[in-house]
Amino acid sequence: MMKIKTLGLMLSVVVFTLLLYGCPPPQPPGPTPTPTPTASFSLDVSTLQSSYQIGESVIVSVRSDQPCYVTMFNIDTAGVITQIFPNNLAPNNYIDGQQIYHIPSQSDRFRLRVAGPAGTEQIRVIATLQNVGIVAPREFTSADFPVFKGSLEEFERILEQQLAQLPVSDWTQTSITFQVQ
């Protein structure tokens, strides 16, 4: 009997509190979040080592799950940006899907050598479904491996503007770093 009186008293307090303060009004359902568009394909990039000595050759391995066009930029330890692929010695940047490509390949007429100074070097890789110029040639020097004429901040701004013109599902990018000793 005591339990019933206690339960009744607690229920009365809850009902009185709800009547006194009221229930919060029901909230209208919010907008359904729009999913962030993402690339419709993936890109895997690697090097054989995570650290290189000055003068050593670097081979970059690239694989996409769809056919695409690949552009690679090297940002060296001094912040100099060089387009390493495609380049004047290997102008075809088309790759088939599901295959691993090595840049440079054994048949290429160039090697990628670490120049230094010591520090962290980055290779930024962008893949597009259409063959588009990622950064206008006028922004680079004319050399076998074109060097960007501006700062890293300018490069990032131009790159962002160029990629914004493409549907998000038509491009992807990744980067890798390695240590130069």
Q: How confident is the model at residue 6 (pLDDT cuts 50, 70, 90)?
A: very low
Average pLDDT, the chain: 83
Tens digits of residue pLDDT in 149-161 = 999 999 999 999 9
**% of the chain exceeding 90 in pLDDT:** 70
Query: Is the pLDDT at 48 greater than 50, yes or no?
Result: yes
Tens digits of residue pLDDT in 56-71 = 999 999 999 999 999 9
* Cβ(127)–Cβ(69) below 8 Å: yes
Q: How confident is the model at residue 13 (pLDDT cuts 50, 70, 90)?
A: very low
Q: How many residues does the chain have?
A: 181
pLDDT at res. 38: 67
| Structural tokens at position 39 | 């690339």
Write down the H helix ranges in the chain: 2-21, 152-164
Q: Please state, as a whole number, how many other Cβ atoms lie within 10 Å of the Cβ of residue 65.
A: 12
Region 72-81: what's the mean pLDDT? Answer: 95
Tens digits of residue pLDDT in 106-140 = 999 999 999 989 999 999 999 999 998 888 778 88
SS3 170: helix
pLDDT at res. 133: 84
Q: Which domains does the chain have, with CATH numbers?
A: 43-180 (2.60.40)
Q: Phi/psi of residue 67, each to 5°?
A: -60, 140
